[in-house]
Amino acid sequence: MSGNSGSGIYTPSGKTIIYHELGHAISNAGQTSATSEDSAIDEAFSDIFTVFFNNHGVSGDAVDWDIGRGYSRTGEAIRYVDSPKRDGAVENIHDITPSMNPYQRGGFIRKMFYNLYNNLRASGFDKNKSLELSYMLFYDANEDWHKGMSFGDLTRSLYTAYMTSYTSTYNEKNLLNAMSDVGVSPEVQYKIYSKAGFVSRLKVVYYDYDGNFHEEFTPQVPVGQTAWVNVPVYASESVSISAQIDYYGFKDYHLLFPTPWVNQCVITWGTVFSPQAAIGSEKCDF
């Protein structure tokens, strides 16, 4: 935050720049490296923080989505939350390239926030309430953030925060549509630890909102090793897990019903003649 010699911006001392830097003090994401996912999350959250505090409680129906307008020598804003592509950032996670900086990589997160705000407005909330609900979802999710986190951690934390505090306030499709428009969806991770006795795997069965049947499998897991499968959390709560044993072909031998949409681990042990499986925690750090 110093000087302007040889740079493309004037000395960054305006309100939105200061809000952005304050946002870093709130974020738990941290920054592992310039190309890490946690860095992109951290920068995007600081821009979201800026938009909320720069607009909430301000009279009128318009929202100022610009970050650092007036400090670029071109006269443009430094970043745009409503249209990240204007500052060279991605608006879809699938457009990220290895050479992009954290601001560019995190553009889709800014766009997700903007999408959620618009979805809430369309649901009948006014400007201030839509801003508040959108920001507070990220703020609450931030409780589960950590240095080294991934984009998958981000989407899971947002959905968990929604399920914890906002199910009675607005329909989850407002959030899920905001996510899908930028190419992401919240996922839960089911993990298997083959403790002893035999090669095993997990079969995860669920139905989506349209009633379509899905099966997902982990790779086969040798004794003493782990594997996992990611499942979209917006599937129905009828999700079930079958532990399977490789005994002349994989066969179901235990059916388990996990707590819906919480990362969980299944431990298998025993012998092919007396197979055992249960939801547990051993060797199951996520």
Task: Read off the pLDDT band of 248 (50, 70, 90).
Answer: confident
End-to-end CA distance of the chain: 37
Taking 60 as the threshold, does the pLDDT of residue 286 lie above it? no
Task: Read off the pLDDT band of 167 (50, 70, 90).
Answer: very high
The domain boundary residue, chosen from 180, 206, 227: 180
Task: Read off the pLDDT band of 205 (50, 70, 90).
Answer: confident
Same domain, 133 and 194: no
Same domain, 145 and 191: no
Quick check: is 155 in a domain?
yes
Q: Give me the domain span that covers residue 158.
A: 15-180
Same domain, 140 and 110: yes
Task: Read off the pLDDT band of 253 (50, 70, 90).
Answer: confident
Same domain, 173 and 223: no
Same domain, 173 and 219: no
Task: Read off the pLDDT band of 238 (50, 70, 90).
Answer: low
Q: Can you tell me the distance from the alpha carbon of 240 to that of 254, in angstroms, rounded to the nearest whole number?
A: 10
Quick check: is 159 in a domain?
yes
Q: What does the pLDDT look like over 36-60, one tens digit per residue?
A: 999 999 999 999 999 999 999 999 9
Taking 80 as the threshold, does the pLDDT of residue 210 lie above it? no
Q: Can you tell me the distance from the alpha carbon of 201 to that of 192, in angstroms, rounded to the nearest whole number?
A: 7
Where residue 265 sits, what CATH number does that domain have?
2.60.40.1430
Predicted local confidence at residue 1, as pLDDT: 41
Amino acid at 50: T
Q: What is the mean pLDDT of residues 201-208?
A: 83
CB atoms within 10 A of CB 125: 19
Quick check: is 6 in a domain?
no
Same domain, 51 and 172: yes
Same domain, 22 and 144: yes
Same domain, 26 and 143: yes
Supply the pTM of this predicted model: 0.74
Same domain, 22 and 157: yes
Could you tell me what percent of the chain has a pLDDT over 70? 88
Q: What is the mean pLDDT of residues 153-164?
A: 90
Quick check: is 20 in a domain?
yes
Q: Can you tell me the distance from the alpha carbon of 191 to that of 136, in angstroms, rounded to the nearest whole number?
A: 30
Q: What is the mean pLDDT of residues 201-210?
A: 80
Q: Which residues contact 2 (CB under 8 A, 6 or more apart)?
A: 11
Q: What does the pLDDT look like over 100-139, one tens digit per residue?
A: 999 999 999 999 999 999 999 999 999 999 999 999 999 9
Quick check: is 1 in a domain?
no
Can you give the three-state secondary structure of 224-260, one letter per residue?
A: CCEEEEEEECCCCCCCEEEEEEECCCEEEEEEECCCC
Predicted local confidence at residue 254, as pLDDT: 83
Predicted local confidence at residue 240, as pLDDT: 80
Query: Given the DSSP bridges, would you call strands 187-194 and 264-271 parallel, antiparallel or unpaired?
Result: parallel
Where residue 148 sits, what CATH number does that domain have?
1.10.390.10
Comparing 207 with 61, the larger pLDDT belongs to 61
Same domain, 63 and 130: yes
Q: What is the mean pLDDT of residues 176-184?
A: 94
Q: Can you tell me the distance from the alpha carbon of 205 to that of 213, in angstroms, rounded to the nearest whole number?
A: 8
Q: Which residues contact 118 (CB under 8 A, 6 or more apart)?
A: none
Predicted local confidence at residue 63, as pLDDT: 98
Predicted local confidence at residue 209, as pLDDT: 66
Predicted local confidence at residue 239, as pLDDT: 73
Comparing 16 with 6, the larger pLDDT belongs to 16
The domain boundary residue, chosen from 154, 180, 206: 180
Same domain, 128 and 44: yes
The domain boundary residue, chosen from 180, 208, 240: 180
Same domain, 219 and 169: no
Comparing 273 with 91, the larger pLDDT belongs to 91
Quick check: is 200 in a domain?
yes
Quick check: is 9 in a domain?
no
CA distances from 272 to 140, 199, 254 (A): 45, 9, 12
Quick check: is 285 in a domain?
no
Which range is most confident: 69-78, 120-129, 247-256? 120-129
* Number of structural domains found in the chain: 2
